[in-house]
Structure 1
Amino acid sequence: MVDNRYATALVIGSVLSLLATVYLSVAVGTQHWYQYQSPAAGSDATNTSELRSLRDDFRDGDFDEKTYSDTLFRLNGTLGLWWRCVRVPADSHWFKEPDPKMVTECVSFTLPQQFIPKYKEPGNHNGQEDLLRTYLWRCQFLLPLVSLGLVFLGALIALCACLCRSLTPTLGIGVLHLLAGLCTLATVCCFLAGMDLLHRANLPPEGVDRSLGWSLYLALISSPLHMMAAALLLWAARSHRQNYHRMTAYLVA
């Protein structure tokens, strides 16, 4: 028999866990972690040709950190854990129009590209590898997957606990949610640290505005939600166990 207080804590914790998981899943699957606002492009032929070349290299060229970073700087780019996108005119003759229609073009990071090492001089593949940026990048896309995996494991344990009509595994589920929240928080920290180091190695052009995107804020919100869910689950499990031991001792006496 579960006390109403514990049942309420379990329900609220489950709702918080579900919200946190949805927020984190949306954050991982979208590209608005970091965004650039580029100055208006000129209409001269040289600038037009350069921007078109950047767009083509971004879409069809070989993967290179220097190349895609410069394209993001110049073409109102957005960057996520698995996507990089630019805002480009839909019409190929956009330079002839005063206000062309803009569309978003995205290219995904493949799994092998996620493990490509970073260099102290982006674009110089013969230069010295930047181990700090390399491992920050790898952590920023692996940690959210670990976080989602921990929550999924907790859900399986919770299902088994419901079938067995036992509240004992709730303690372990709470610990898993706490670890998931820490992994999510570490993801955000790794991403921000990596972007700061990238901008030091490859300085954006003057006039380019930089800002954090809503995807990053979703991930940031999901971390305390996981931790609050963990706190409720741990409290319910611990309090229920203490009351159970007291009741057992009373019945024995």
Structure 2
Amino acid sequence: MVDNRYATALVIGSVLSLLASVYLSVAVGTRHWYQYRSMPASNDVKNGSDLHALKGAFIEEDVSEKTYSEALFRLNGTIGLWWRCILVPEETQWYRHPEPKMVTDCQAFTLPQQFETKYKLPGNSSSEEDLLRTYLWRCRFLFPLVSLGLVFLGALIGVCACLCRSITPTLFVGFLHLLAGICSLATVCCFLAGIDLLHRASESADWMNYSLGWSLYLALVSSPLQMMAAALFIWAARSHRKNYTRMTAYRVA
């Protein structure tokens, strides 16, 4: 039999865990982790041709990091864990119109691009390999998947514990949620560190305007929610165990 206090803690922890999973899932699937604001392009044929060529290269599957990064910098791009997008004119010869209609063009990062090697000079495979950026890029892709996997595993263990009418496995569920919260926080840290290193290696860093997007804040909020759920699960399991031990000792005495 579970005390009402512990049952309440388990319910609140489950709700927090669900909210954290939803927030992290939405953050992973959206593209607004980082947003760039470009200066208005001048209305001349040469600049229009350059931007059109940049847009064409951006949508290619095997595009280099330097190419798509430059497109993000110059074309009001947004980037996420799985997506990169740019804001481009709908018309091909946009420079002939004073206010062309703008549309968003998005491309998903392929699996090879998620694990590609990064270099000191972005896009230049003849330069020295940048191990730090390489592993930050890979970790920011893997950590949210690990976090969601840990929460899913914790949910399965929690369901089994309910079926067995035992609160003991809840302690392990709490530790799983704690690891999930750490992975969610590590995702944000790896992403921001990787973007910062990319800006330092880029030649366009001086004139760029950029800001954090709402998707990143969702991922950031999911981490403390998971940790609060972990604290509630661990407290309920340990307190219930101590209380049960004391009651058993009292009955024996």
TM-score bracket, shorter-length normalisation:
over 0.9
CA distance in 2, matches of 1:19, 1:3: 25
Shift, 1:100, TM fit: 1.9
Alignment-derived partner of residue 55 in structure 2: 55
Alignment-derived partner of residue 211 in structure 1: 211
What aligned pairs does 1:36-55 form with structure 2 within 5 A after superposition?
Answer: 36-55=36-55
> Structure 1's 61 and 234: CA in aligned 2 closer, same or farther, altered over 3 A?
closer
What aligned pairs does 1:88-103 form with structure 2 within 5 A after superposition?
Answer: 88-103=88-103
CA distances 1:179-208 after superposition (whole Å, capped 9, x unpaired): 000001011111111111100101325543
TM-score (norm 1): 0.98
The aligned amino acid for 2:181 is G
Q: Which moved more, 1:109-118 or 1:172-181?
A: 109-118
1:73 matched to 2:36? no
CA distances 1:111-132 after superposition (whole Å, capped 9, x unpaired): 1111110000112111110000
Alignment-derived partner of residue 233 in structure 1: 233
TM-score (norm 2): 0.98
CA distance in 1, matches of 2:47, 2:109: 28
What aligned pairs does 1:193-208 form with structure 2 within 5 A after superposition?
Answer: 193-204=193-204, 206-208=206-208
| Percent identity (aligned) | 72
Alignment-derived partner of residue 251 in structure 1: 251
CA distances 1:80-131 after superposition (whole Å, capped 9, x unpaired): 1111100111222322222222111111111111111000011211111000
What aligned pairs does 1:137-156 form with structure 2 within 5 A after superposition?
Answer: 137-156=137-156
Alignment-derived partner of residue 34 in structure 2: 34
1:106 matched to 2:71? no
Runs of 5+ unmatched residues, structure 1: none
Secondary structure in 2 aligned to 1:250? helix
Q: Which moved more, 1:119-128 or 1:57-66?
A: 57-66
Runs of 5+ unmatched residues, structure 2: none
Q: How many residues align?
A: 253
The aligned amino acid for 1:163 is L
Q: Which moved more, 1:97-106 or 1:118-127?
A: 97-106
The aligned amino acid for 1:3 is D
CA distance in 2, matches of 1:155, 1:149: 10
Shift, 1:148, TM fit: 0.4
The structure 1 segments of at least 4 consecutive aligned residues displaced by more than 6 Å after TM superposition are none
> Structure 1's 246 and 217: CA in aligned 2 closer, same or farther, altered over 3 A?
same
Alignment-derived partner of residue 87 in structure 1: 87
Query: What's the RMSD between the two structures over aligned residues?
Result: 1.0
